Structure 1
């Protein structure tokens, strides 16, 4: 067992390793449990067609755990700032130069703000509970105003980000806890565990289409289990801390989600969640509080959920805008994205671009549906992040067998296989779960456009394929083993 380093160990990138296990786990969990569970329970019920929807959260947890073990090995052995960007750069530089990290940043420019746009959609849905007569045009204007307000706050510079994050964490925990406790006080097992005919017909294609849709929603709810890995250069003893923080956060959120899902189904009839005119289809947490503790309590919790939604968009865009900045500064993305605001020192182009995409994603979600938006952002993630990272773990084991790996994936390659199957199921069924929306085709088109952008960028920068590949094995091999006692004695 390696000794824990002192709390302020400088790294080569100028960062200081201050974040321990508790903080890393809290960072992951705060990103995992934002507005997501409050808006996806009805979507999960619709995907499965009944209260058996809890299967979706369990399946999402299994995929998150399998994928999380990949993140754990890569993060422990390559503990730098940037997460996937670092892993793909190190694994694929031997054959394709900077193509894979470039494409990761390119796709992140789409899927990160799309994730944030789901928070804006959730904000507007729950605001509709407090203002039921709000028109579609007014709700669209409010959603766009929320995006503009977030960008404006971040544009002016915020000096107390840690305090804002802490407030978000407390409000989110309070919201979830109140809904779970309220549901427990009025729980009806007959509602929660009475399933429709054919609910578990595993030979039916309908079941598996619903399962794929539920798995997509489930993994969307767990997204964030890898947040600490993006801060690898600031994690104390990353070889131990990162794997544990990932596993603990997934297990903790799984328990919260199951209590929330089953508790909700034990209070609100699941068929109400399928009625677009019923408040349970858009603001299910508010419906639970209204059924149990009355309208006043429902209004209070709805306000807490609105704060959670706003804060999740705020912190998400704050962190997301740094992704293209870090890459451009490292000469792996377009140079303008390395520009900082002269006074407030934030990435100007990254924040502006992601703000615009968040606004567009919000309008897509409002004028199609939230499930379509989730399908789109997950399909964009699958190829360049999820599947490429599974391959990266195996490539690095083969290319750099001597790389220091303080954590090695349990039961390798089984977690990689489970993650591969799960992501392929999500991708393969995406079009069937969003008929007429073509999320697979859109994701492939975005990837193809990214390849064209890479060729233009690489030609300008004179790097592969228009220049030599630059191989930089930045992370050290494993330290030599201690000498045997007998050898020491004879020396």
Structure 2
């Protein structure tokens, strides 16, 4: 839940209102939760059956090794090298937006410099042996909960139902194409805000009783965060007129939580909560780059990615290349979105969210849904402590949801070309794989290596011990 909530709701409420054109934006939060739930069931079954470190990387390796060797896990790491930094870029952009509330004269150039400086500080803090990560995560969770709680409480003290529930005429026209374009944009923002429901699956090797814990953690976190988001969205709409969130010159369009606190409890309280949100944004970038830099490292050590990413700092033991690469890509994504998204039609956050979700769809989302079916057919004897309810319906609904996000990407964001960018990145990844596989003599330049790691381990565990021990 800490990974899911972060800076997201503080910066995306105005974007959701803009996508739907009014307070009917609550539809986006509900739709995002439904997609997260059905996709979460895919994660739940795979995570319970294959509880290894790496999440999608493990599932894709196990499912697609029969036909394409190491290609799919390689492509997952390749795409993660882009979408993880882009997620962190949204945190930096959110920090700069809220900083502008405390620093009203902040120019675009100064905002660029602040964002890059924040990233440099994060990399510097991570350039050492990382200790007490658990304490940092707990502190981040506490600050985030305090910030969200104060915003919701402030909304309750000055809530106007007519503002929150006064939907414009023809707000929901299912036969109008514009509604579905807005719905797709809102669904994209919604699923971005729920990202993180799969965090425990990435830590499967370190979780006790994963067959029970992983499914519950995924589903319960989605339901709980949905409740928090709906309270915030409805509460904010009941305090701040939704038209203010569409006005680029209004503080509510970029720092909506600050606007809520200023309207309800005054400027002093707004400044304090804005400071808490800045801490939340910084902590989310810190923990995101900390975990993200380990993704290529784990794959490299397992022989599934470039070996240079597996090298550790000789003194402090952190992955040098992974940290530097993701830090640079995060800075590049932040600056790119601020300048391509300089118009009201393409706010930087919208650009970043659209690009990162488009990159995720092909390899992680759709390929992982396919992996669930492939593994059921290829490894029917694999122990599955949790099996998807109503299979295959949830996985089909998840696929439809992700395809809606992907298919409407260009239409909802004219001029940004998220589909073309995502295809280009995956195509570049395929070329990189050919270079890497040639060097490693892996498929297609070598034999496919079939390694049914979890199935073999489970079969070995079921074998009765030979009487008399090894010396019999």
TM-score by length of 2: 0.95
1:91 to 63, 69, 88: 63
Which residue in the other structure is 1:144 paired with? 116
Q: Deviations over 1:106-164 (max 9, x none)?
A: 00000000000000000000000001011111111000000110001001333221111
Q: Deviations over 1:73-110 (max 9, x none)?
A: 00000000000000000000000000000000000000
1:181 to 140, 147, 153: 153
Which residue in the other structure is 1:454 paired with? 433
Q: Does 2:372 align with 1:372?
A: no
Q: Distance in 1 between matches of 2:296 and 2:106?
A: 37
Native 8 Å contact 1:89 1:98 kept in 2: yes
Which residue in the other structure is 1:441 paired with? 420
2:44 to 72, 79, 93: 72
Q: Distance in 1 between matches of 2:285 and 2:165?
A: 35
1:245 to 199, 208, 217: 217
Q: Distance in 1 between matches of 2:269 and 2:222?
A: 30
Q: Distance in 2 between matches of 1:41 and 1:366?
A: 19
Native 8 Å contact 1:171 1:304 kept in 2: yes
Native 8 Å contact 1:118 1:365 kept in 2: no
Q: Distance in 1 between matches of 2:91 and 2:169?
A: 34
1:310 to 268, 275, 282: 282
1:116 to 85, 88, 105: 88
SS at match of 1:311: helix
Q: Distance in 1 between matches of 2:111 and 2:442?
A: 47
Quote how far apart the aligned CAs of 1:364 are: 2.0
Q: Does 2:454 align with 1:475?
A: yes
Native 8 Å contact 2:49 2:382 kept in 1: yes
Native 8 Å contact 2:359 2:422 kept in 1: yes
Matches within 5 A, 1:38-77: 38-77=10-49
Matches within 5 A, 1:143-182: 143-182=115-154
Q: Does 2:194 align with 1:222?
A: yes
Which residue in the other structure is 1:426 paired with? 405
SS at match of 1:475: helix
Q: Distance in 1 between matches of 2:129 and 2:278?
A: 23
Which residue in the other structure is 2:362 paired with? 383
Which residue in the other structure is 1:407 paired with? 386
Which residue in the other structure is 1:265 paired with? 237
Q: Does 2:367 align with 1:395?
A: no
Could you tell me which runs of 5 or more consecutive residues in structure 2 were left unpaired when the two chains were aligned: 342-347, 463-472
Quote how far apart the aligned CAs of 1:165 are: 0.9
Which residue in the other structure is 1:34 paired with? 6
Q: Distance in 2 between matches of 1:347 and 1:410?
A: 39
Quote how far apart the aligned CAs of 1:372 are: 1.2
2:445 to 466, 479, 490: 466
Q: Distance in 2 between matches of 1:75 and 1:324?
A: 20
SS at match of 1:156: coil
Which residue in the other structure is 1:106 paired with? 78
SS at match of 2:324: helix
Q: Distance in 2 between matches of 1:158 and 1:99?
A: 32
TM-score by length of 1: 0.91
Quote how far apart the aligned CAs of 1:476 are: 2.9
Which residue in the other structure is 1:356 paired with? 328
SS at match of 2:127: helix
Q: Distance in 1 between matches of 2:133 and 2:49?
A: 29
Cα RMSD after superposing both structures: 1.0
Q: Deviations over 1:413-454 (max 9, x none)?
A: 011011000000000000011101100000000000000000
Moved more, 271-280 or 360-369: 360-369
Q: Deviations over 1:6-59 (max 9, x none)?
A: xxxxxxxxxxxxxxxxxxxxxxx0000000000000000000000000000000
SS at match of 2:455: coil
Q: Distance in 2 between matches of 1:219 and 1:364?
A: 22
SS at match of 1:225: coil
Q: Distance in 2 between matches of 1:53 and 1:309?
A: 24
